[in-house]
Amino acid sequence: MSKILVTGGLGFIGSHTVVELQNEGYEVVIIDDLSNSSENVLDGITAITGKTPIFEKLDLKEKADVEAFFAKHNDVVGVIHFAASKAVGESVQEPLLYYENNISTLVYILKELRKLPSASFIFSSSCTVYGQADELPITENAPVKPAESPYGNTKQIGEEIIRDTCKITPSLKAIALRYFNPIGAHESVEIGELPLGVPLNLVPFITQTAAGVREQLSVFGDDYPTPDGTCIRDYIHVVDLAKAHVIALQRLLEEKNKENYETFNLGTGKGSSVLEVVQSFEKVSGEKLNYKIVGRREGDVISAYADTTKAAEELGWKTKLSLDDAVLSAWKWEQKVRS
C-alpha cells in the first residue's frame, strides 16, 4: 500500500482528495498547521472512508521539522501539495507572508523529495496563472500573464521552481494541476468548505446569505461584456477535482507521464456567470436570495473557463457532476454546519 503525503489535507480540496485516495487504497499522511482548517475534519474523513489517516500538525515553514518528518516517513512515494495561503486580497496587503508561506514551504519539500530514490509530486496550481486570457476557452498553451496579485505570483513561481527542479532531478516527476473554481461538498455532508471569517468565494457567500449568516450578497458589476453583464467562471465540483488528483498521481506512479513536468487544466469546460450561479442556487434550494448589484471589484477578470481536452485525452478524466449538483451539496453542507 503506497504511502502518500497530503499537505493541507484538512482543507477544503485537501480533505476531499484524502477521501478519494483512501477509497483507492492508499495510505495517507496529512500535514496541516490548522491555520485555516480544523482537526474535526478528520472525523468526517473517517466517517466516509472507515479509516483515519495519519495526521501530523506541522508548520512547513520550519525547515528542520520538514526534514524530521521525511526522516520519519521515508517510505512516502508521492506528495500532493495543497498547503498554502490563498486569499488574493490578503496577499496584496501581506505579500511577504505569502511569499514565505507559499514558496519556502515548497522549496523545503522538494529538497527532501530529491533525496528519495523516486518521488511523484502533484502541485495545487491555479487558473490565476493565465490572468485575463486572450482566447477562451483557456488551453494549457495560453501564455502565463503577469500576476494580478502576490498569491497568483506564488503559483507562477511555484510552477517555475518545480519545473527547474525536475530538470536536474531525474528521480522526480511532477504535475501542476491548474484548477478553476472549486465548489460544493461531499455527498455524505461529512466534509465541505469551511471558510474562516467572511467568505472570499461566491458559493459560500451565497449559502451563508441564504442561511442568514450574511445579510446580503454583493454582485460586483453587471456591465461586463458577457451575456448578462456579470463575470463568468468555470465552477467545478470539488469531488470531481479530488478524483483528478488521484488520477494524476497514478499517472506518475505508473510512469505514464510523457515528461518529468506536466501541466493540466481542471475545469468543466463551461463558464457560468455570477447570476447563473445565483439562479442555480434558488432553483435547487427553493430559497430566494437577497443580493444586489454593486460596482466592479478591482482585479476581477471578465471571463475564464477551461479547455479540458488535454485532461480528457491524457488523464482520461472529465467532470461528472453539474453546477446544480455542486450548489445543492454546498447548501446541504451549510445547513448541517448551522444546525
Select from 59, 82, 98 the least CA-distant residue to 13.
82
Task: Tell whether 150 and 285 lie within a shared domain.
Answer: no
Residue in the structure block whose three cell numbers are 523529495:
113
Determine the structural domain holding residue 112 and report its residue range.
3-183+237-266
Structurally, how many domains does the chain consist of?
A: 2
As a whole number of angstroms, the distance between CA 275 and CA 278 comes to 5
151 is catalytic: yes
Task: Tell whether 99 and 209 lie within a shared domain.
Answer: no
In a domain, 195, yes or no: no
In a domain, 188, yes or no: no
Structural domain ending residue among the three candidates 248, 266, 284: 266
CATH number at residue 42: 3.40.50.720
Cell digits of residue 158: 511555484
Task: Tell whether 149 and 244 lie within a shared domain.
Answer: yes
Task: Tell whether 7 and 125 lie within a shared domain.
Answer: yes
Under the phi-then-psi rule, with left for phi > 0, alpha for psi from -120 to 50, and beta for the rest, what region is 229? left
pLDDT of the chain, 339 residues: tens digit per residue: 899 999 999 999 999 999 999 999 999 999 999 999 999 999 999 999 999 999 999 999 999 999 999 999 999 999 999 999 988 888 989 999 999 999 999 999 999 999 999 999 999 999 989 988 999 999 999 999 988 889 999 999 999 999 999 999 999 999 999 999 999 999 999 999 998 888 989 999 999 999 999 999 999 999 999 999 999 999 999 999 999 999 999 999 999 999 999 999 999 999 999 999 999 999 999 999 999 999 998 878 899 999 999 999 999 999 999 999 999 999 999 999 998
How far apart, in Å, are the Cα atoms of 6 and each of 3, 10, 249, 300?
10, 9, 12, 30
Q: Using an 8 Å Cβ cutoff, are 110 and 162 in contact?
A: yes
State the helix-helix crossing angle for 202-210 and 274-285, rounded to 10 degrees. Answer: 40
How far apart, in Å, are the Cα atoms of 58 and each of 12, 106, 111?
18, 14, 17
In a domain, 136, yes or no: yes
Q: Phi and psi dihedrals of 126, rounded to 5?
A: -155, 150
In a domain, 339, yes or no: no
Task: Tell whether 136 and 217 lie within a shared domain.
Answer: no
Three-class SS of 136-189: CCECCCCCCCCCCCHHHHHHHHHHHHHHHHHHHCCCEEEEEEEECEEECCCCCC
Task: Tell whether 247 and 285 lie within a shared domain.
Answer: no
Cell digits of residue 261: 513536468
Task: Tell whether 70 and 103 lie within a shared domain.
Answer: yes
Model pTM?
0.97
Give me the half-sphere count of Cα atoms (radius 13 Å) on the Cβ side of residue 149. Answer: 22
Question: Which entry of 98, 108, 151, 261 is annotated as an active-site residue?
Answer: 151
